[in-house]
Amino acid sequence: MKSYLAAAIQMTSKPDLGKNLIEAEELIELAVRRGAELIGLPENFAFLGKETDKLAKAAEIADRTSKFLKTMAQRFQITILGGGFPIPVTDNSNKAYNTALLIDPSGVEVARYQKVHLFDVNVPDGNTYRESSTVMAGQDLPPIYHSEELGNIGVSICYDVRFPELYRYLSSKGADIIFIPAAFTAYTGKDHWQVLLQARAIENTCYIIAPAQTGNHYERRFTNGHAAIVDPWGTILADAGEEPGIAIAEINPDRLQQIRQQMPSLKHRVFA
């Protein structure tokens, strides 16, 4: 594993696939120009609209987005995460998997994760979310991509961040870096987003790359922003704020090793 720059992209995606992919490409190019070799896009980066509309367009979103990610990876010679987009369930026309794909610079899919924890929550601001109405929960534990250059990369999606056992599993499999792409609600995000990212980084002594959605997407759908990169000590290395853009920071294997030696908590675990 070498030292390199990673980027967490922040978007205000809308219910418009074409425009979202254009914006994503512009931000990817910006990150590449700044030297990023590992780039993450947020949850719902290709389409953020009503669940019923997303489901109706799921086949088109899945096809165009998968091709887009492979094209971006090859064109810019990067490893890129598409942080969550719908892929229809083969035997259920009423559901799609919320799927994250990790693509290497040759355009090959190296990891696929179907979101396990679905956001069915009555938020105190009056909004109600029922992700399970159109999304099929994944059944498999998240994958780890083992890269000699970039390190061991784990994948999760948004609401997963509230379930530490998932991240403990990833760390037990050797994760050095974990993606947490999100479309975190504005109401919950203001209190919970940063502290949850830091907790997952600290307790697993790993880097967290957290691409995010921000702003108003449609009607009353507002997201928190603050795409971030967090180091294994819990330090926020980069924060994208509240506007579309990127958070970019160094992933440093020496820093990772230093913290794991100074705070060897993973070796001190009593209960598996």
DSSP secondary structure string for all residues of 68-80: HHHHHHHHHT-EE
pTM, two decimals, is 0.97
The string of pLDDT tens digits covering residues 63-122 is 999 999 999 999 999 999 999 999 999 887 789 999 999 999 999 999 999 999 999 999
Please tell me the distance from the alpha carbon of residue 141 to that of residue 73, in angstroms, as a whole number. 25
Q: What is the pLDDT of residue 173?
A: 96
Q: What is the pLDDT of residue 61?
A: 98
The pair of structure tokens assigned to 227 is 């795409």
Residue 212 sits in a domain whose CATH number is 3.60.110.10
- 189 contacts: CB under 8 Å, gap ≥ 6: 223, 224, 225, 226
Could you give phi then psi for residue 161, rounded to 5 degrees? -60, -20
Q: What is the pLDDT of residue 91?
A: 82
Domain count, the chain: 1
Active site residues: 43, 115, 158
Cα–chain center distance at 222: 18
| Regions of the chain with pLDDT less than 70 | none
Q: What is the pLDDT of residue 127?
A: 87
Please tell me the distance from the alpha carbon of residue 135 to that of residue 150, in angstroms, as a whole number. 31
86, 17 contact by CB (below 8 A): no
Which residues constitute the domain of residue 244?
4-268
Q: In angstroms, what CA-CA distances link 262 with 168, 175, 235, 253?
A: 19, 18, 15, 14
CA angle (217, 223, 226) in 5-degree steps: 125
Q: What is the pLDDT of residue 26?
A: 98
The tokens 């971030």 sit on which residue? 228
CB atoms closer than 10 angstroms to residue 212: 31
Pairing state between β 212-218 and 4-11: parallel
Pick from 110, 108, 199: nearest CA to 152: 110
Pick from 229, 261, 200, 256: nearest CA to 10: 229
